[in-house]
């Protein structure tokens, strides 16, 4: 499963690491890339994940999830 999110509020590499770390903890086998310059978070996992949980985790870190697209592959 892949989720591409538009996220506002990340301002530096520390923000990126914070988001990536929180998602990694939740889904240890997943691949995550956060970009504060692109305002994006890319999430990819072989297991089935809860899109809502991914969004809530990012929001709980204090960032604003504007939109997202997910696809099962
Ligand atoms: Cu930061």
Ligand 1 mean position to 51 CA, how many Å? 24
Q: What is the pTM of this model?
A: 0.94
Mean pLDDT, rounded, for 45-73: 93
Tokens 């809530």 sit at which residue?
Answer: 56
Distance 12 CA to ligand 1 centre (A): 4
As for how many domains the chain has, the answer is 1
Which residue carries 């988001």 as its tokens? 19
How much distance in Å is there from the Cα of 71 to the middle of ligand 1? 28
The residue-averaged pLDDT of 46-57 equals: 94
Domain that holds residue 21: 2-71
Instruction: Give me the CATH number covering residue 50.
Output: 3.30.70.100
User: Are β-strands 64-71 and 31-35 bridged in parallel, bridged antiparallel, or unpaired?
Assistant: unpaired
CA of 72 to the centre of ligand 1 (A): 30
C-alpha 73 to ligand 1 mean position (Å): 31
Q: What pLDDT shows up at residue 40?
A: 98
- What tokens were used for 22? 């929180």
pLDDT at residue 73 greater than cutoff 70: no
Interval 1-48: pLDDT, tens: 999 999 999 999 999 999 999 999 999 999 999 999 999 999 999 988
């Amino acid at each position: 499963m892949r989720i591409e999110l538009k996220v506002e509020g990340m301002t530096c590499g520390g923000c990126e690491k914070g988001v990536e770390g929180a998602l990694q903890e939740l889904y240890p086998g997943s691949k995550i890339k956060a970009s504060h310059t692109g305002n994006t978070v890319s999430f990819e996992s072989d297991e089935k994940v809860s899109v809502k949980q991914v969004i809530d985790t990012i929001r709980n870190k204090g960032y604003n999830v504007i939109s997202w697209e997910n696809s099962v592959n």
